[in-house]
Amino acid sequence: MNSVAVTAQTAGPGAARAAARRRARSGGVAQRPRWIVYVLLGLTLLISAFPLYFTLVLGSSTPEEIAQRAVPQWLPDLSLFDRFATVVGASEINFWLALLNSVVISVISAFSVVLFSTLAGFSFAKLRFRGRGPLLVFVIATMAVPTQLGVIPLYILMSDIGWIGQIQAVILPAIVNAFGVFWMTQYLSEALPYELIEAARVDGASMIRTFWSVALPTARPAAAMLGLFILVKEWTNFFWPSIVLNQSNPTLPLVIQSLQSNYFVDYSLVMGGVFLVTLPLLIIFVFVGRQLVAGIMAGAVKG
Amino acid sequence: MATLSRTPSATAPTPSPAGPPRRVGFSQRLSRWDVKVSPYLYISPFFILFAITGLFPLAYTAFVSVHEWNLLGGQGDFVGLANYADVLAQPTFWRSLVNTFSIFVFSAFPQLALALLIAALLDQNLRSATFWRMGVLVPYVVAPVAVSMIFGRLFADQYGLINELLGLVGLDPIAWHGDRVASHVAIASIVNYRWTGYNALILLAAMQAVPRELYEAAVIDGASRVRQFFSVTVPQIRATVIFVVITATIGNLQIFDEVRMFDAQGLGGPSRNWMTTVLYLYDVAWGNQKNFGRAAAVAWMLFLLIVVIGALNYFLTRRISTSAPDRPARARRRRGGGTDDTAGATVSAVTRARPGAPPPGTSGAGHPPTVPIPPEER
C-alpha cells in the first residue's frame, strides 16, 4: 500500500503537489522565501509595467509639457481619452480597420497552424509510413532556418499574384509553422495511447475519423497553447506586414509606424496610440497568461 | 506497441453480414488504401505550404541574387556575383554587420544574467507563484515596435527619463541617439525588455527539474544560498542556458523592429549608427536603391552566416553537454511536470536542449524573439 502511494506521488498526476509537499516539509531548502525575494520580484514587475504606465502619462500631457520635462506629470488624467478619440478617429490612421485586420490575421493563422500541426503531429507520432524519420528530422531542422530572409522572392510572388496591400499576403506565410508540427508531435506521442487509436479502428472508424474524434480531443491542451503563441506572434509581427501592406490597409503594429510618421512631433498622441494598440493583447493576456506561462515552461520556443 | 498496419485485418472480421461479397472487398481495399495514404495526406499540407512560403523563397533568393533585379523593372540580366561584390564594397553593409554583433553582445549577456536571477527568485516557494510568473511575462505581449517607440522616448537625448535619472545621480546625459555604442545599449535594452521574462520562465522550468536532493546535500555541507546557486543550479541547467543563448543568437542576428522604430526616419540614424543587417536589406530592397538583386545577395549572405553560427553553436553545445554529468532521468521525471498540471510538460526546455536534440531555432518570420530569442522577427 505504501508503495502504491509513492508511485502515485513521484510519477502520477499528483506529482506537482507531492513535490510541493515534500519541499514544504524538508526544512532549510523549502521554507517560504524571505521578504527580499518579494521586493526584488516586485521591482521586476514595476520595471515590466513602467513603459506601459509611461505611455499613459505622456498620453495625458501636451507636447509642450513633454518637450520640457521627462515626466510631465505622475498620474494619467482624463485628457487621455481625447487622445484615444483622436487616434481612433483619424482618417489617415485607419485604427478600426487595423484592429480588424490584426484579429483576422492572428485568428486565421492560429487556427490553421493548430489544425495542420495537429494533423502532421498525429501522423508523425502515431502512424507508420515510409520516410517518417527523415521527414521529421527535416521538420526539426527547418525550425532553425531563418525563413524571414526569403522576403524578396516572397514579395515578388505576392506582387505577381496581385496580393500586395492585401491581408492574404500576410496570412499565407503564417498558416504553417515547423515548430508547431514538432510541438504537436512531441505532445501526441506521449499523450495519445495506441490502444485508443486501435479501439477506434476496430470500431470501424476511418483514419480521418480517428484523427477527428480521438487525436484532436486529446491534443486540446497543447493545441490551445500553440494557438496562443501563434496569436501573440502574428499580432506583434511587423517586418513582413510592413513590407507587403500599407497605411491604407494596415495591421496594429503598422498603426504605430503611421502614428510616428503622421504625428512625430506630438508625442502625447503617439503614446496614447501606442497604448491603444497594446491594450487588446493585454486584455487577452489577463485571461490566458496562465496558459502562456505553462506553455513556455513546457518548452515553447521563442518566436 | 501496436502497429497500425495491422489494423486493416482487425476491421475485416466485422463486415456487415448482409453485404454482398464485392462490397466487402471494396471497403477492405478502401480501408487499406486509407491506412497507406493517410499519413502522407496529413503531413502534406505542412510540407506543401512550407515549401511554397518558406523554402522556395529562400532558395529563390539565391537565384535573384545573381541577377540584375529591381523593384520596378523586375528581372534583368544574369550578372554572376556582381551583386555580392557591390554589397561587399559598401561600407554600410559592413557597418550594419558590426552594429548587429554589437547589439547582440549588449543584449545577450545582461539578458541571460537577469533571466537567471529572476528565474532563481521565481524558483522559491513563493506565495501566489502564478501571479509573479505572469507578471514577468507581461512585456512579451507588447509588440516590439511599441516597446521601441516607448524606449525611444525614455532614451531621448533631451528630456529623456533615463538621462534625467543619470542627472539625479550626478552623471552627464548620454547621447543615446547620437553615440554609436550608446545607441546599441539603448536598442539592446528594448530587446531585453521583451525577452528577459520569457527566458526566465524557460530557465525556471529547468531549475524546477533539478533534483532537490542536491540542495539538501548542499545545505548539509553548509553551502549558502548563493553558493547553492552557482555550484548546484547553474551546472544542472547548463543545457537550457545554452539553448537560450543559441536562440538568442539566431534571433538577434535578425533584429529589425526595434531599430526601425528607434527614431522617426527608421534607417539607423544619420550615420547609420544603429542600422542592422536586416534593416540594411530592407533599405536596399524597398528604400532608396530598390535593388532586389543586391538585397537578395545581402539576405543570402546573412542566411549563410546564421547557418554557420547556428551549426557552430550546435557542435559546441554537443561538446559541452555530453561532457557534462548527465542528470538522473528519474529525478527529471519526478520533478519535470511539477510546474503546472495543464502544461503537459512533454517538450520541456531541458529535453529540447539535450545532447541528442536538434539545434533549436526560431521558426522564422516571427521576430525571433530574439533573443532569445528572438527575433521574431526576431
In a domain, A126, yes or no: yes
Which of B13-22, B57-66, B139-148, B184-193 has the weakest average pLDDT? B13-22
CA distances from A32 to A113, B226, B325 (A): 42, 17, 30
Per CATH, which fold does B82-352 belong to? Answer: MetI-like fold (1.10.3720)
CATH number of the domain where residue A279 is located: 1.10.3720.10
Band of pLDDT at residue A30, cut at 50, 70 and 90: low
Tell me, what's the pLDDT at B282? Answer: 93
DSSP, residue by residue, A132-187:
HHHHHHHHHHHTTS-GGGGHHHHHHHHHHTT-TTSTHHHHGGGS--HHHHHHHHHH
Q: Is residue A71 situated within a structural domain?
A: no
With a cut of 50, say whether residue A12 has pLDDT above it.
no
Q: How many domains does chain A have?
A: 1
Domain ranges of chain B: 82-352
Q: What pLDDT is stored for residue B54 in this prediction? A: 87
Is A129 inside a domain boundary?
yes
Contact B250 A181 (CB under 8 A): no
CB A298 within 8 A of CB B343: yes
Residues 6+ apart with CB under 8 A from B221: none
- Taking the CA of residue B371 as centre, how many other CA atoms within 13 Å lie in the half-sphere pointing to its CB? 31
The share of chain A scoring above pLDDT 90, in percent, equals: 49
B357 pLDDT band, cuts 50/70/90, is very low
Q: Is residue A249 part of a domain?
A: yes
Question: Mean pLDDT throughout B65-69?
Answer: 91
Structural domain span for residue A242:
95-263+272-297
Interface test with A, best of B1, B31, B141, B258 (most A CBs within 10 A): B141
Q: Is residue A240 part of a domain?
A: yes
Nearest to A233 among B130, B160, B366 (CB): B366
Residues of A with Cβ-Cβ distance to B198 under 8 angstroms: 296, 302
Closest in A147, A239, A256 to B58, CB measured: A147
pLDDT in tens, A271-288: 888 999 899 999 999 999
C-alpha B201/C-alpha A18 separation (Å) is: 22
Confirm whether A163 is domain-assigned: yes
Tell me the average pLDDT across A239-244.
93
On whether any CB of chain B is under 8 Å from the CB of A62, the answer is no
| Ramachandran angles phi, psi of A85, nearest 5° | -60, -40
Please enumerate in sequence order all residues whose Cβ is within 8 A of that of B79, keeping only pairs 6 or more positions apart, or say none: B66, B67, B68, B293
Q: What is the ipTM of this complex?
A: 0.84
Output the CA–CA distances (angstroms, integers) from residue A131 to A137, A138, A177, B248, in the order listed: 10, 11, 20, 32
What's the pLDDT band for A33 if we cut at 50, 70, 90? confident
Q: What is the pTM of this model?
A: 0.81
A148 contact residues in B (CB cutoff 8 A)? 254, 278, 364-365, 377
